Structure 1
């Protein structure tokens, strides 16, 4: 048992150790977060454009995917008895396991190629496609765990079923729904492949979502391939920032999930 646990933890520990050891030196400097890209040899280079770009891309993707995913999950849990609902669930499960590079290529074909330029909008659409099935399935599972007595009490008061779903069931399932939304955000934050086909990257700070936008995963990928040690060090620093961001989101989601389990035990 302990040996199996060690096999699972050792790779994770090595990844974290290397990331912290290599990424901490550049990450300790404040200009690393406040300055943008500078040519090799010019001191004071930073990854501000990547941090801002990541927040923009994930934010726009969340606006698209989370509300639609929550409504879809509620519908499948409360009204999804029709035959087509099973196909929707199957499609969601398949989409969860779809390679992200295939999603990026799909969005490239429908948004980037026709418009002849990369953009943050296309990047956020690709991330939204990856986030949507996670939100749908976790919302459906959380809503399905709510006792039927709560539904029956709302219907007995004369409330229409859609109001029961939105005003009674959704608040009761909120911890699980939030957990699913956070997990989808964590996945989107670390995706690189779809952004190569869509957002593409931009060494300048761009706040225009209709133009190419930089992101932390793109920075790690692009800088790590260069022969310059200064850029490779920045890649490790960006990787550390990304790991800390994703780890923080996962810790918050686990806390919310534990809270949901505790509340469910009191019902």
Structure 2
């Protein structure tokens, strides 16, 4: 199209389209950033509150001394709860992670859409939504009342029941992401099914499996209701899970925070900060181990 003077007018439609796309892209980027900020703000406020209130209680005695029996008593001492958290959660991980990973391997590599596999998936989904107190009551009725004693191992069983469905579902999703070409290449080299799973599929999904397992561990470490129901309460070191009552940081947070005394509330803040630090430390270590393992497999 030309004007009366024989010149072609500039094409404004292309410029307008480019401007609208640029504006839409910047608007979407701004909106996403704003949503991330809104979501991160409560987390940052909670973290700041815990750190500012709990850091003042930290000292060498805080990590090694026994817990004061009187809630009015000031001073440090959370060693038994730290040890109890580590041993109870560790035992729960030993019970649930191997079973969960093997269950996910069956679902994704062998069971597929068989009736048993569908039943296991359904039950795993149901168990994910079951309140933690129900798991505690289940272990209390099925184990504590039988042996007639509350122990740390009973708490580990309750936490393992909470961790198991998370490990199964997260591991199964990670196994689905492993390309089928890897399985086919392994089978083409003459490897048996189990050898392919152990030597190819699981190492390829190791990073995701580790992340899912740490998610389950983080949930278990912060559970309070099943611990109170099944473990009981103690103020001294109990590294033996079968030797009577025990305690964890989550239980101490609940018990001290529910008291009206300033000393007990300070211990609750310190225990909360300690629990966050333990979960954060193990998350970092797991990432390092997973990355190192993946590099060695190349």
Residue-by-residue CA offset, 1:127-171 (whole Å, 9 max, x unaligned): 001111111111111111111121112222222211211122111
Runs of 4 or more above 3 Å deviation: 2-7, 39-45, 247-257
Structure 2 gaps of 5+ residues are 1-30
Structure 1 SS opposite 2:194: helix
Structure 1 residue aligned with 2:135: 103
Contact 2:100/2:167 (CA < 8 Å) preserved in 1? yes
The count of corresponding residues between Structure 1 and Structure 2 is 261
* Root mean square deviation of aligned Cα: 2.4
Q: State the alpha-carbon separation in 1 of the partners of residues 80 and 67 from structure 2.
A: 8
Q: State the alpha-carbon separation in 2 of the partners of residues 37 and 201 from structure 1.
A: 11
Alignment of 1:34 with 2:67, yes or no, is: no
Give 1 or 2 for the bigger CA radius of gyration: 2
Residue-by-residue CA offset, 1:200-235 (whole Å, 9 max, x unaligned): 221111122112111000010111122322121111
Structure 2 residue aligned with 1:241: 274
Residue-by-residue CA offset, 1:93-141 (whole Å, 9 max, x unaligned): 2211211111111111101122221111110000001111111111111
* Cα offset, 1:255, TM superposition: 7.8
Q: 1:93 to 1:256 in 2, by over 3 A?
A: farther
Alignment of 1:159 with 2:159, yes or no, is: no
* Cα offset, 1:92, TM superposition: 1.1
**Which among 96, 100, 110 is matched to residue 79 of structure 1?**
110
Structure 2 SS opposite 1:136: helix
Alignment of 1:168 with 2:200, yes or no, is: yes
Contact 2:74/2:263 (CA < 8 Å) preserved in 1? no
Q: 1:149 to 1:136 in 2, by over 3 A?
A: same
Structure 1 residue aligned with 2:13: none
* Cα offset, 1:172, TM superposition: 1.4
Q: 1:5 to 1:156 in 2, by over 3 A?
A: closer
Contact 1:183/1:253 (CA < 8 Å) preserved in 2? no
Structure 2 SS opposite 1:206: coil
If the length of structure 1 is used for normalisation, what is the TM-score? 0.89
